[in-house]
Amino acid sequence: MQRSTITLGISFKMYFGYAQTLTWCREIAASLEKHPAVLDGRVSLFVLPSFPAIAPVLNIFNDTPVGVGGQNLYQSAYGAYTGEVSGAMLAEMGCRYVEIGHAERMRLFGEDIETVATKVQVALAHQLIPVLCIGEAKRGTPEAAIANCRAQIDSALSLATPEQCQQPIIIAYEPHWAIGASEPASLEHIAAVCQGLREHMNSHPAASIIYGGSAGPNLLTKLAGQADGLFLGRFAHDPAAYNTIVNEASILVASR
């Protein structure tokens, strides 16, 4: 079933400096009065800055509907884990989201499916919305991708209680083989996989399926409701470009 809300998220990864992060967020906060669909909740926005910028970004978006979160959390709530950040602290600060399971975390930092499952459970235990990143490693058919990604979702939720599985969760799909590739995944592939994942999450009514690969203008329109939103990348580093996609989402929800 097509959701009535469109979700647009952005992770700055480590592209932005401190001042640049705050400048971007201030520009977006100032532009929200032009987006009534954001103000009334029909378009849902979340921003994932680097850890040192979370507190001021929370302050910038304090009187807006824009959600803020972390790009990572540690798989234990507390303890002697030098340099890590807990879900408990993110929640205490006022974060609503946390990114988990990105391909870069697996490739560069050795995270595995057990780590992802533990992080998802910790996030849900602290009432954070996991932005669970999934995607197939090798190029293949949509059917193969759906089966692979469904298994990743089931594994990620394997430690969550039945009650936690009813909490909001965002599934951010991006085929790993398309990351940095000269040719992105086809529109047909994206639409088919997102639809297959939505059907898989029918028993999780608070789940959203968003697409994260080469997400730019007109993609939402072309997907024709097969995805519940986008996880934006470098295209949206320009506030004007970001606002273009917010406008597109606003037009789409108004037509439903």
Instruction: State the pTM of this model.
Output: 0.96
State how far the Cα of 125 lies from the Cα of 148, in Å rounded to an integer: 26
Range(s) of the domain holding residue 80: 6-176+187-254
Is 1 within the bounds of a domain? no
State how far the Cα of 234 lies from the Cα of 229, in Å rounded to an integer: 16
Is 113 within the bounds of a domain? yes
Is 241 within the bounds of a domain? yes
CATH (domain of 47):
3.20.20.70
Q: Residue 224 has what pLDDT?
A: 77
Q: Residue 225 has what pLDDT?
A: 82
Is 131 within the bounds of a domain? yes
Average of pLDDT values for 97-119?
A: 96
Catalytic residue set = 102, 174
pLDDT tens track for 49-70? 999 999 999 999 999 999 999 9
Structure tokens at 185: 């995944």
Is 141 within the bounds of a domain? yes
Q: Is the pLDDT confidence value at 109 over 80? A: yes
State how far the Cα of 123 lies from the Cα of 121, in Å rounded to an integer: 5
Q: How many structural domains compose the chain?
A: 1
DSSP E strand stretches across 152-248: 169-173, 207-211, 229-232
pLDDT tens track for 183-237? 778 999 999 999 999 999 998 989 999 998 777 788 999 987 899 999 998 889 9
